[in-house]
Amino acid sequence: MNDTSTRPLRLGTRRSKLAMAQSGQVAEAVRQLTGRPVELVEITTYGDVSRESLAQIGGTGVFVSALRDALLAGEIDFAVHSLKDLPTAQPDELALAAIPPREDPRDVLIARDGLTFQELAAQPTVARIGTGSPRRMAQLNAWARDLGLEIETVPIRGNIDTRIGFVTSGELDAVVLAAAGLARIGRSDEVTQFLETDAVLPAPGQGALAIECATTNAPLAATLAELDDPYTRAAVTAERSLLAALEAGCSAPVGALADLLADGQIVTEMRLRGVVGTTDGKTLVQLSTTGPVPSSSEEAVAMGRELAAAMLDKGAAGLMGERAL
């Protein structure tokens, strides 16, 4: 960095335990990179204070706008987001400076009595499984149907403690959360089942973080870029391109995952899978494509668009329930 100032760098973060944990990890990496102190600046977003469901409040950007406003106002130097919360359109004034290596992108089940999804669905009484995600509802209900069984998906909001509390209190039989979030706060031991992606595809970008700064701060952007993982960036760019081409917001029932396929130690190809479904699980459109690992963002974007076009040809447009504004 050209800026040799010893002033602490200000990292903007949401106030939740998970956001503070993942921002703290990024802050430590930036300290090691720059030799400068990094202070966390806690910012409350609309998504943090609203008690409505994400679908009701629009979903897209509700956890992001306040952080971006602080960046543009110069109140913070950079921000850390969960990538799955970011709208797919990137503002010209802000640089997506780094996408560090991704955590486990899968969803997980935390269930009473250590039960798996299959065991819960086979119970004599209909299992009540909590999630705030239409994407998860669609795929969980479809999975139960494939097993010839029935579950009830219950819409919930709240932080990780609140959601797990629905199970420990007995109000729900299980909840579904992201593996990455639990890993970042050291609670992976509470997971009763990791949901394989053949059954439940994650949200586009799930498990990845986005580090954003103002485009006018080129020295900082260049430094933060050293934390970037090119394989993670290629994968999430393809996933988010699929989401954008479907014209769906981040609360729509769209799942996507780009896997890197390796021959021994050498990554040779990337497989992109996508799913769109009705929340009752009665109708799903699920397709995949495989090709060379994208060598540029343009190639990753093209891969996502091509799969989205194939999904739209199969009727995906009528299943999403939300169109981008």
Among 77, 85, 107, 173, the one annotated catalytic? 85
Helices 17-34 and 160-168: crossing angle in degrees, nearest 10, is: 140
**Which DSSP category does 115 fall into?**
-
| Neighbouring C-alpha atoms within 13 Å toward the C-beta of 273 | 15
Task: Concatenate the DSSP letters of all residues of 38-81 into one string.
Answer: EEEEE---HHHH--S-TTTTT-TTTTTHHHHHHHHTTS-SEEEE
| Neighbouring C-alpha atoms within 13 Å toward the C-beta of 166 | 23
- Check: CB of residue 36 under 8 Å from CB of residue 9: yes
**Annotated catalytic residue 173:** no
Instruction: Measure the CA–CA gap between 3 and 28, rounded to whole angstroms.
Output: 19
Helix (DSSP H) and strand (DSSP E) numbers for the chain: 10, 13
- Check: CB of residue 227 under 8 Å from CB of residue 291: no
**H/E element, 285:** strand 284-292
Beta pairing class for 127-131 and 174-178: parallel
Instruction: Measure the CA–CA gap between 38 and 29, rounded to whole angstroms.
Output: 10
CA-angle at 83, arms to 77 and 86, nearest 5°? 80
Q: What does the block give as tokens for 247?
A: 């014209």
The single residue listed with the structure tokens 């960046």 is 71
The single residue listed with the structure tokens 């595809």 is 201
Annotate 167-224 with three-state secondary structure: HHCCCCCEEEEEHHHHHHCCCHHHCCEEECCCCCCCCCCCCCEEEEEECCCHHHHHHH
Please identify every residue annotated as catalytic.
85
